[in-house]
A and B are shown apart, each in its own frame.
Chain A
Amino acid sequence: MSILVLILVVMLVGALSVVFYVIGGYNRLVSLRNHFQNAYAQIDVQLKRRYDLIPNLVETAKGYLKHERGTLEAVIAARNTAFSANTKAAQNPGDTATMKELSGAEAALTGTLGRLMAVAEAYPDLKANQEMLQLMEELTSTENKVAFARQAYNDAVMAYNTTREMFPTNLIANSFNFAAAEMFVVEKPEEKQAPKVSF
C-alpha cells in the first residue's frame, strides 16, 4: 500500500511538474511574441514618418523636374504601395506573407527614391533648394531610425523563433499554434543603404 501511495505521489509530482513547465513555456512564448510585436511598433512609427516626408519631397521637386513626371509618379506609386503593405504588417507583425510583401515594397520604394536622387543630380537649382535639402536630411535621418528599429525587431524575432524551435518548447509552440515570425530584411543587397544625396 505504501509503495502504491509513493508511486501515486511521484506520478502526481511528475504530472504537476509537466503542467507547470508547459505553463511556463507558454507564458515565455507569449512574452517573446509580445516583445517583437512591440518592437515592430517602433518600425511602424518611423515608416509612417518616411511616408509622410515623401509627398513633400515630390511636391518640392515637381517645380524643378518638369520633364521627369514619370520618375515622380513612380515614387508616389511606390510610396502608396509601401504604405499599404505597412498597414497590413502592423496589424499582424511577424506574419510571413505580410512581412515579405513589406520588404519587397520597401525595397521598391528605396529604388525609386534612388532614381529620383540620381535624376535630381542634373538639376543644380533643385540641389541648392533649402527645403529640398532639409527634406532629404530628415529622410536620411528617418531611414537611419528605421534601420535601428529594424535591428531591434529582428533581434526580438530571432529570440522568439529560437525559443520556439528549441526542444521541448517546440512541442508547446506547435500545440498552441505559435507560428514562426518573419524578420524584416532588405531583399536586395544594393538597397541596404539609404538613398545617398550628394549635392
Chain B
Amino acid sequence: MTQPDFFTRQESVASMFSTHPPLEQRIRALEPAWDGKFIVVDTDERSSAGATQAPAGPARQARWTQLGSLPGVAVVVAAAAPGSAIGAAALLQTGAPTQRHLDYAADWRSKLPPELDAAARQPMSAVALIYALLLSHDDALRATQLEQLSGQTDAGIGPQTAALLPGVLRLESRARLPLAALAMSALRLLSPAQYEQFNSNIRRILESDPQMEIFEYALQKVVLRRLEAAFRPPKRPVIQFYVLRPLRPDCVTLLSALAYAGQTGAAQIDAAFRQGAAKLDLPGLTLASSDDCALAKVDVALERLNQACPRIKKDLLNACAETVAADGVIEEKEAELLRAVADTLDCPIPPMLHVY
C-alpha cells in the first residue's frame, strides 16, 4: 500500500467535512507540471555497510555513499563533474531525512565536545555559546569584542564566552549550525528583558565586525528568527510575492553573495552566478558587484525573499545550490552556508552526506 492511499480516500460524504482541498489540487498549486502520479516510497531505510542508493531524476550521475567513520574533518561533502546536477542532488533529501541522516546526527552528537554540549543546555551558557560562535576570527578584533561584551552583559557571560572560545574555534564547519540549533531550547527560557539584551548584543557584534562572513551573518539570522516566534507575538505569515519578477534584485543580491563566498577569481564567480541564475525564470540576470552584496543588502533581500510563496522559495534554493556547486565541488563550509540560507527562508535542509 502506498502513501497516497491514506490521503485520497475522501469520498463525497467525507469530503464535505474536509478542512483542505483535495491532495491533487494542493500539489498542483505548488507544482503545476505534476503528472498526477505518486512516487512509491520504500520505507525500509536500513542500508548495509557500503551500500549505495542512487537518486532518481537528473541527479543520476551522482552516487550516494553512506557516511563512514572517516577520520578528521570532511572538507568536501560532494564532488562531481562541473555542470552535473550536483546541486539538485544535494537538495534531494529536503523534507525526507533518511536513516543515514539519523546515523549522521548520532555520530555528530557523540563527537561534540562535552563542554559545548553542556553549554548549549543552560540559558546563560547558551547565550555565551552563541556569542562565541559569532565573534570575529581576527584575534585583535575578537579581544575588543569580548571586552565590549563583558561591559554589556550580566556578570559571568563574558568570562564564559572566553572559556568556550577555544572549543568553538576547533569546531568543524558542519558542527556550528547544529550546535546553534541545539542551544535553541535553552535560549527560549530567557526572560523577555534578557532576550532583548541578547538581541542587541548580537547586533553589536555584527556591527563591530566589518569582515563578518556571510555564514556568521546567516547563523545569527537563523538564531534570531527562531527566537522571535517565542518572544514576540507571532504574526500570521502573509505571502507577498507569487511571481519572481518583483524579487529580481533580491535574487541577484543573494546569488551574487553566494558566488563571492564560494568561489575565487572573477571568472569562477561569474560562472557560479550564471549557473544558479539559469535555474530562475528571470532572463538577463547579471552578477552584482561585491559592494552591492554587503550583508545589510543581503539582509534586506532575505527578508523580501522570505515573503515569497513556497514554489518560488524552492526554485530559489535550487538556484542557490547550483551557484554553490558550480565548480563541481561542495565544500563543507559551502554546504553549511547553503543550509543556513535555506533555514532563513524557512526551508531547512538536512546535512549533506557524502556524494561522489
Contact = CB atoms under 8 A, between A and B. Distances in A.
Given A42-B123, A149-B124, A152-B123, A144 B154 contact: yes
A141 B122 CA distance: 12
Main secondary structure of the interface of B (DSSP, over half): helix
Interface stretch (B42-50, B186-194, B294-302): B186-194
Nearest to B190: A152
A102 interface: no
B160 interface: yes
Contacts of B192: 155, 159
B156 interface: yes
B154 A147 contact: yes
A156 interface: yes
A147 B157 CA distance: 11
A60 B122 CA distance: 28
Contact of B123 (A140, A148, A156, A159): A148
Contact of B156 (A45, A141, A152): A141
B155 interface: yes
A39 interface: yes
B318 interface: no
A145 B122 contact: yes
Contacts of B154: 144, 147-148, 151
A155 B124 contact: no
B189 A144 contact: no
B155 A39 contact: no
Contacts of A149: 123-124
Interface string A117-154: 00000000000000000000000110011011101100
User: Which of under 10, 10 to 19, 20 to 34, or 35 or more describes the interface residues of A?
Assistant: 10 to 19
Contacts of A45: 122
Contact of B189 (A39, A140, A145, A147): A39
A159 B190 CA distance: 14
Nearest to A143: B156
Contact of B191 (A144, A147, A155): A155
A192 to B, nearest CB: 11
Given A144-B154, A144-B156, A145-B156, A152 B122 contact: no
Interface in A156-197: 156, 159
A38 interface: yes
B125 interface: yes
Given A141-B160, A152-B190, A152-B191, A147 B123 contact: no
A166 to B, nearest CB: 17
A152 B189 contact: yes
Contacts of B189: 38-39, 42, 152
A45 B125 CA distance: 13
Interface in B178-215: 189-194
Contacts of B125: 145
Contacts of A39: 189, 191
Given A38-B189, A144-B156, A145-B156, A155 B194 contact: yes
A159 B192 CA distance: 10
Contacts of A141: 156, 159-160
Find the residue from B125, B155, B159 having the highest chain A CB count within 10 A.
Answer: B155
Nearest to A152: B191
A155 B123 contact: no
B197 to A, nearest CB: 10
A156 B159 CA distance: 26
Interface string B74-101: 0000000000000000000000000000
20 contacts: A39-B189, A39-B191, A42-B123, A46-B122, A140-B156, A141-B159, A141-B160, A144-B155, A144-B156, A144-B160, A145-B124, A145-B125, A145-B156, A148-B123, A148-B156, A149-B124, A151-B191, A155-B193, A155-B194, A156-B191
Interface of A: 38-39, 42, 45-46, 140-141, 144-145, 147-149, 151-152, 155-156, 159
The 8 closest A-B pairs by CB, nearest first: A144-B156, A155-B191, A152-B191, A148-B124, A145-B124, A144-B155, A155-B193, A148-B154
